[in-house]
Structure 1
Amino acid sequence: MTGPAVWTPGALARSLGISPTTLRTWDRRYGLGPSARQDGRHRRYTDQDAARLRRMVELTAMGMAPASAAALALGQPPRDGDVGPAAVIGPHAAAVRGFARAATRLDEPLLRGLSQDLISEYGVVTAWEQVFMPALIQIGERVADRSSGIEVEHIASATVGHALRQVPAPEHRGRLPVLLACAPEELHTLALDALGAALSERDCAHRALGARVPPRALLDAVGKLRPAVVVVWAHREDLARSVPLAALVAEPGVAVVVAGPGWSQVGTPQPVRAVRTLPGAVRTVLELIGRSWDRAHG
């Protein structure tokens, strides 16, 4: 036993803001289960188990695939092809270290300058995948290890979000190409900010409804704006299941894209498109509005 058995599954699920179903799924698939038994029968989560699961929630909220998030939460290397600490040994390692150091000092002016410079030099997709995500994960790992420094994580995330929202939005006339929205009760918007910035960079206009979009509000916005594509982000399964997906699919002439790790275990009806990565999301949206990645860059 790794510590006192203090959490029942239901209590821990409520504390983490996830459903008991998600908790059971993470136990079965990734080994993030309770490590203690009470009276030889009932399994209970220790504080150490709870800390690993909180890290899992944080990593998936940043857009990491659940399998890789689970590996990092368990102290293992991330799965091949996914962003994780191993990525910081690549050509952008110095930028990752510089960003993380500035965040540790809470140097917001420097963070803003670095973020803007990285987007200008490399573009949104590369800056997000090669610098921002690895740096945020590195910072989060440090916070988890030391049980302190959440202010560093907050200022880094806020600064990245601000820089992404500063990418100039293209002008557009006629039908709105893309509408971006979070699932009801979804508080994490950073990955959706990255998608919006990447689309703006490719001269693709969009509007973003932000966090915690109620089902009725999302359907009303789609009815008013009639976008060609609507993208809905969810980082947890229970949040994804609260999206009025059937009603969105029934909207004539509107293509539906779902993004984020929350959709990985949720069945989606045809012709909904599911995307896991920022490049995949950008390519899918551009394809649905009749443009190619190459033409968008040209």
Structure 2
Amino acid sequence: MVEQGSGLTPGALAGMLGISPTTLRTWHRRYGLGPTARTSGNHRRYGPRDVERLRRMVALTAQGLAPAAAARAALGGPPPSPAADDRPALDARAARAARRGLVAAAGRLDEPLMRDLAGTLVAEHGVVAAWQHVFTPTLAELGRRAAARGAGVEVEHVTSAAVLHALRGVPLPAEGGRTAALLACAPDEQHTLPLEALGAALSERDSTWRNLGARLPARALLAAVDKIRPAAVVVWAHRDDLARGVPLDELVNGSDAVVAVAGAGWAEVATPPAVERLTSLRDGVRVVLRAAGRGD
């Protein structure tokens, strides 16, 4: 029994989750996802644990999981995280549903639900599939909306934060041996999320990496390569003026690392013949693994 006013009413919770009260009642009746407390007047109230279970249910069904299976997962905890190569494919229908779920939650600035959606996608389908089919198109769509309306930057930022949280939830591999990849932004480049995605995808493949982050001076990049001596160096730039500040000749001639560039900023920039141009996240994983002596 809880005091009058404690917890959320069914109507308030349905509105917060973006579902109808009828759906909430159906999930209660069919799957046992109802409130665990009532007020002294015998009114149903949803407590924090009830809310988290239902957030999980919304996240899983938004990805196309059948309600009965989603309810079992919501009641029993997160689904297991299979090995990267064993995850089921993310088909087009499920990807569209996941994008709709993320966009709807983003519009409400519901970051807890967005984290759940993003984290479940990564756990069930892997970083590469989640990034390519859901995260990138969702962020692009929100960016277009913000530009067209002249408002909504906060929606983009919350979405990026939720995606970053999911990527950083991938366990880091055990250290040992040569670092597979050194990841860095071009000088004055501030967009780091694509490098976070590459790092998380490498972690799924049990490959070690270091991310030197945004706005790394050219001299600092060269010093880091000399200290760490990675198998591969990947430099990100989303504009050509930023890409031109990267010391590619020194990187190629100063170490035995495979040097690769990524991002739209390199499209019109000439690079030394030895430099790899990455066209996708999957391509980045392949190049790094090959540089580290792994062909998988």
SS in 1 for 2:254: coil
* Structure 1 range deviating more: 134-143 or 200-209: 134-143
The yes-or-no answer on 1:248 pairing with 2:251 is yes
The residue number in structure 2 matching 1:276 is 279
Match runs of 1:1-298 below 5 Å: 90-293=93-296
Deviation at 1:144, TM superposition (A): 2.1
Q: CA deviation at 1:98?
A: 0.4
Aligned partner letter, 2:230? P
Q: Which moved more, 1:252-261 or 1:140-149?
A: 140-149
CA contact (8 A) 2:232 2:292 kept: yes
CA distance, structure 2, for counterparts of residue 121 and residue 89 of structure 1: 15
Structure 1 residue 89: deviation in Å? 6.6
Structure 1 segments of 4 or more deviating over 2 A?
Answer: 88-91
Q: Which amino acid is 1:154 matched to?
A: H
TM-score (norm 1): 0.67
SS where residue 173 of structure 1 aligns? coil
**Percent identity over paired residues:** 56
Structure 1: give runs of 5+ residues left out of the alignment: 1-87, 294-298
Q: Deviations over 1:234-291 (max 9, x none)?
A: 1111111100111101123211111111111111112111112111111111112121
Q: Could you tell me whether the CA contact under 8 Å between 1:261 and 1:276 is conserved in 2?
A: no
Deviations 1:207-259 (A, max 9, x none): 10000000111011111111111111111111111001111011232111111
Distance 2:199 2:244 in 1: 23
Give, in whole Å, the separation in 2 of the partners of 1:259 and 1:138. 21
- 1:90 positional shift: 4.2
Secondary structure of residue in 1 paired with 2:148 = helix
Q: Quick one: which amino acid aligns to residue 109 of structure 2? A: L
In 1, are the aligned partners of 2:235 and 2:260 still within 8 Å (CA)?
yes
TM-score by length of 2: 0.67
The CA deviation at 1:204 is 0.7
Q: Any gaps of 5 or more consecutive residues in structure 2?
A: 1-90
- Larger Rg, first or second structure (1 or 2): 2
- What number of residue pairs does the alignment pair up? 206
What is the alpha-carbon distance in structure 2 between the residues aligned to residue 218 and residue 108 of structure 1?
34
